């Protein structure tokens, strides 16, 4: 399990803010390279109540994140019966390799063959990259977009829905889960204070605009915003990076220097390289 915040024990630390259960492999890889990895989720994911659309009613289902994959398929499988498998006539689409892996690993989808995704060497994994693939082939007429909270990676899902509708598709948006700020314990808060007091070089991984907002709220309450702005910051999409810069500028208007910020793809290997590059 990733280390939890306590007294600093390594020469450098990294705070992983992805939701609970999604930081283990990355934390182990970082710890093998001498980092102290703190598992400190910014957001808590809660499944939405209510009916779940049936993928069989659509020609294409677009998942905007791995979280959307897991939350939707878990709920759909529970409602439809655990023996229910993904319908053969329905294609699935994802914005990147992490979501593709979540689909392939889920028992409700498995090795269903029709999976659309950006090329592995795409410079970004987002709605624009997925649209480049979708628009190069005959477009489906009925599309379901599965999302969460107020959105992943800014307004990308709304942009994609607009492109699909302009092309003549009927688009249904389904919110599979809500995202709310995760509670940080007094022990975790004190661990961050100790890192700040010790001057331990610290990196932060930020993977959504909502996560950035949640971290800002926590650190403002702890009086650690100035320290955070001096840390190494890694964002997994340019839109998240732009939001992060805006948040820091608004929170610390007298600050002259921009934050030390690196942008990378959301794959663990790219995140690892980005964290190492800003250390």
In angstroms, the CA 12 to CA 9 distance is 9
pLDDT on residue 1: 46
* Terminal-residue alpha carbon distance, the chain: 23
pLDDT value of position 41: 96
272 alpha carbon, distance to own chain's centre: 15
Tokens 């250390």 belong to 279
Cβ contact 262:232 at 8 Å = yes
Tokens of 72: 């939707």
Q: How many helices (H) and strands (E) does the chain have?
A: 10, 11
Tell how strand 170-181 and strand 43-47 pair up: antiparallel
pTM check: above 0.75: yes
Helix or strand run (H / E) with residue 191: helix 186-198
- Largest alpha-carbon pair distance within the chain? 58
If you write DSSP's letter for every residue of 99-154 in order, what string do you get? HHHHHHHSTTTTT-S-EE---TT-S--SHHHHHHHHTTSPPPSEEEEEEETT-SST
The CATH architecture annotation of domain 46-179 reads 3-Layer(aba) Sandwich (3.40)
pLDDT at residue 279, rounded to an integer: 57
Domain topology for 13-42+182-277: Rossmann fold (3.40.50)
In the chain, where the domains are located? 13-42+182-277, 46-179
Q: How high is the pLDDT of residue 124?
A: 80
Mean pLDDT by 10 residues, the chain (279 residues): 46 94 92 94 90 94 92 87 81 91 87 83 85 92 88 56 95 92 94 95 95 96 96 94 95 89 90 85
Phi and psi torsions of 27, nearest 5°? -60, -45
pLDDT at 6: 44
CA 252/CA 226 separation, integer angstroms? 7
Six-digit token pair at 196?
Answer: 């700040």
């Amino acid at each position: 399990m990733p280390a939890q915040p306590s007294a600093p024990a390594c020469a450098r630390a990294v705070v992983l803010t992805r939701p609970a259960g999604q930081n283990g492999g990355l934390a182990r890889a970082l710890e093998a390279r001498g980092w102290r990895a703190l598992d400190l989720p910014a957001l808590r994911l809660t499944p939405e109540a209510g009916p779940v659309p049936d993928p069989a009613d659509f020609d294409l289902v677009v998942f905007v994140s791995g979280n959307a994959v897991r939350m939707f398929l878990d709920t759909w499988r529970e409602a439809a019966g655990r023996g229910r498998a993904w319908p053969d006539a329905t294609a699935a689409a994802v914005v990147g390799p992490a979501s593709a892996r979540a689909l392939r690993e889920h028992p409700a989808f498995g090795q269903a063959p029709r999976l659309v995704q950006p090329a592995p060497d795409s410079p970004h994994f987002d709605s624009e990259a997925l649209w480049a693939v979708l628009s190069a082939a005959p477009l489906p007429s009925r599309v379901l977009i599965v999302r969460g909270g107020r959105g992943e990676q800014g307004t990308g899902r709304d942009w994609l829905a607009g492109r699909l509708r302009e092309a003549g598709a009927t688009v249904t948006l389904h919110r599979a889960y809500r995202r709310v700020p995760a509670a940080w314990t007094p022990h975790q808060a004190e661990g961050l204070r100790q890192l700040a007091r010790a001057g331990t070089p610290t990196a932060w991984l930020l993977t959504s605009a909502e996560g950035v907002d949640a971290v800002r709220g926590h650190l403002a309450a702890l009086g650690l915003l100035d320290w955070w702005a001096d840390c190494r910051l890694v964002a997994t999409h340019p839109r998240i990076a732009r939001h992060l810069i805006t948040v820091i500028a608004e929170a610390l208007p007298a600050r002259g220097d921009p934050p030390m910020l690196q942008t990378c793809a959301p794959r663990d290997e790219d995140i690892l390289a980005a964290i190492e590059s800003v250390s």
